[in-house]
């Protein structure tokens, strides 16, 4: 019987049966395809469990975030920890045996592998849930591919001909057995083809996801994901419109900016502006941003990532966002990931406002709101006055950095791909 390795958390899908002989015992690390996808509820359980795969520490449980921060920090962060692999990423001198590079790649393909099998078996899902199940699986697949293409694409989308630049292997069919199977030793699809697939998946997700969906993928998160993809392609009109759709649907369904910036972080339930976050508790979930950004005072390591004055001094003395930094062991630390067992933020509503502002500025438009209105939403919450009038692109980009303390999704690809494909 064909087997599929379990890379997702074990949920109630085993359908265990007794065996007469020890030799007939089922391998607890595998489950038959027929069992895993035998009922509508089991398919939906696999879908839920694939969110846990997304939330692995090697992907959206933290590594996808802090790795991009180190790669793009340009003197604003220091890696001072003892682990050599993150230092390689920070210094952009990655060796062939870097386990963090290996693991983010393999974990992303585990999510894709699981999503492909969910989509292929969605026919068994009850009619009322089928479209949503497929949409969520496509959201999961697109999120994984977007990280892969940014990290492992030969160059960014706009740096040359996207139709000839090498991307990553593109897999959208189920099986055969596992991501490491020799059958998956496929050539790299073009950057353009990978982006087309990502856009197809996110578009379908945006169309068929509900406006609210607990802490799972929803319509506004799919819209914001599309805005990210289009922005990465320098398609500013499309990014603007996707961000505007995100804001329109989100605000009509109870999402809003927290009145205090600090309330958006270090929480174990989603805040009002969390469109999508990985759930972390003392029982499940991983937050590797906490592990490396926080300190042993709060239960983490001893402050592996320092915030330098190059970054900290960008905040005005009246900017309340600077309150989230804390000073320990002689250096500043980012307090967004200070506390243990707190959710990992993947998409916040604030990003949509700033994306809309940036794209309206670039296009000379005022879709949804004026550039100044969107820019001043986050600035006023941070206690900055007076309001900016006639905002420039440079001011918007600067505000994006201060609001997000992040170069996440702005990294230039190819730094990791040289490492990966030299060993394939």
Residues 291-329 pLDDT 10s: 999 999 999 999 999 999 999 999 999 999 999 999 999
pLDDT at residue 307, rounded to an integer: 97
253-260 contacts at long range (C-beta below 8 A, 24 or more positions apart): 253/211, 253/212, 253/220, 254/212, 255/220, 255/349, 256/349, 257/349, 257/350, 257/353, 257/377, 257/378, 257/381, 258/381, 259/381, 260/320, 260/381
Give the 3-state secondary structure of residue 74: coil
Rounded to 10°, the helix 191-208/127-152 angle is 150
Alpha-carbon torsion angle 257, 263, 267, 271, nearest 10: -20
Among the candidates 324, 340, 356, a domain finishes at: 340
Residue with tokens 């994006």: 400
How far apart are the C-alpha atoms of 181 and 4, rounded to whole Å? 11
Q: Is residue 109 part of a domain?
A: yes
| 278 φ/ψ angles, rounded to the nearest 5 degrees | -85, 130
- Find the domain containing 304 and state its range: 288-340
Q: Is residue 275 part of a domain?
A: no
Q: Is residue 112 part of a domain?
A: yes
Q: Is residue 396 part of a domain?
A: yes
Among the candidates 302, 323, 340, a domain finishes at: 340
The DSSP secondary-structure symbol of 302 reads: S
Residues 60 and 169 in one domain: yes
Residues 258 and 153 in one domain: yes
Instruction: Kindly give, in sequence order, each residue whose CB lies less than 8 Å from that of residue 386, ignoring residues fewer than 6 positions away.
Output: none
Q: Which of 61, 65, 59 is nearest to 305 (CA)?
A: 65
CB 409 within 8 A of CB 228: yes
Alpha helices in 174-297 (DSSP H): 191-208, 219-232, 236-252, 288-293
Residues 202 and 329 in one domain: no
pLDDT averaged per 10 residues, the chain (length 424): 39 42 56 79 96 97 95 94 97 95 95 96 96 98 97 90 94 73 77 98 98 98 98 97 98 98 96 98 95 97 96 96 96 96 97 98 98 98 96 96 67 37 28
How far apart are the C-alpha atoms of 168 and 182, rounded to whole Å? 16
Residue with tokens 């089922």: 26
CATH value at residue 222: 1.25.40.390
Alpha helices in 212-367 (DSSP H): 219-232, 236-252, 288-293, 309-312, 349-363
Q: Is residue 274 part of a domain?
A: no
Token duo for residue 9: 């958390």
pLDDT at residue 35, rounded to an integer: 77
Q: Is residue 198 part of a domain?
A: yes
How far apart are the C-alpha atoms of 123 and 125, rounded to whole Å? 6
How far apart are the C-alpha atoms of 8 and 52, rounded to whole Å? 7
Give the 3-state secondary structure of residue 314: coil
How far apart are the C-alpha atoms of 116 and 374, rounded to whole Å? 38
Q: Is residue 276 part of a domain?
A: no
Residues 227 and 371 in one domain: yes
CA dihedral for 356, 139, 68, 285, sign (positive or negative): positive
Token duo for residue 36: 């895993």
Tell me: the pLDDT tens digits for 372-414?
999 999 999 999 999 999 999 999 999 999 999 854 433 333 3
Q: Is residue 32 part of a domain?
A: no
Work out how many domains the chain is built from and give that number. 2
pTM, entire model: 0.89
């Amino acid at each position: 019987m064909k087997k599929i390795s379990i890379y997702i958390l074990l949920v109630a899908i085993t359908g265990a049966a007794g065996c007469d002989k020890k030799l007939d015992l089922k391998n607890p690390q595998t489950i038959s395809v027929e069992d895993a996808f035998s009922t509508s509820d089991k398919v939906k359980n696999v879908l839920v469990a694939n969110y846990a795969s997304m939330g692995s520490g090697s992907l959206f449980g933290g590594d996808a975030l802090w790795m991009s921060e180190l790669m793009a920090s340009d003197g604003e962060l220091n890696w001072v920890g003892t682990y050599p692999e993150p230092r390689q990423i920070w210094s952009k001198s990655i060796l062939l045996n870097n386990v963090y590079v290996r693991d983010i790649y393999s974990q992303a393909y585990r999510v894709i592998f699981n999503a492909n099998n969910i989509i292929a078996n969605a026919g068994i899902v009850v009619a009322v849930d089928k479209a949503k199940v497929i949409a969520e699986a496509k959201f999961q697949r697109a999120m994984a591919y977007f990280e892969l293409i940014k990290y492992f694409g030969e160059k960014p989308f706009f740096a040359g001909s996207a139709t000839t630049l090498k991307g990553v292997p593109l897999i959208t069919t189920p099986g055969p057995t596992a991501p490491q199977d020799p059958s998956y030793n496929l050539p790299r699809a073009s950057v353009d083809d990978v982006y087309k697939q990502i856009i197809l998946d996110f578009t379908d997700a945006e169309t068929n996801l509900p406006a609210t969906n607990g802490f799972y993928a929803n319509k506004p998160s799919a819209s914001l994901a599309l805005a990210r993809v289009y922005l990465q392609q320098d398609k500013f009109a499309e990014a603007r419109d996707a961000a505007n759709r995100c804001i329109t649907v989100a605000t009509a369904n109870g999402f809003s900016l927290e009145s205090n910036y600090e309330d958006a972080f270090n929480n174990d339930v989603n805040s009002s502006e969390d469109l999508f976050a990985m759930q972390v508790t003392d029982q499940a979930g991983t937050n590797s941003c906490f592990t490396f950004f926080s300190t042993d005072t709060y239960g983490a390591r001893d402050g592996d990532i320092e915030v330098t004055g190059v970054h900290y001094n960008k905040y005005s003395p009246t900017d309340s966002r600077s309150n989230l930094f804390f000073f320990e062991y002689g250096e500043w630390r980012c307090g967004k990931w200070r506390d243990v067992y707190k959710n990992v933020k993947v998409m916040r509503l604030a990003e949509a406002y700033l994306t809309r502002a940036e794209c309206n500025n670039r296009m000379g438009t005022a879709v949804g709101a004026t550039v100044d209105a969107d820019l001043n939403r986050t600035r006023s919450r941070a206690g900055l006055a007076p309001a900016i009038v006639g905002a420039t692109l440079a001011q918007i980009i600067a505000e994006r950095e201060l609001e997000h303390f992040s170069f996440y999704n702005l990294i230039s690809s190819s730094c990791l791909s040289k490492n990966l494909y030299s060993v394939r």
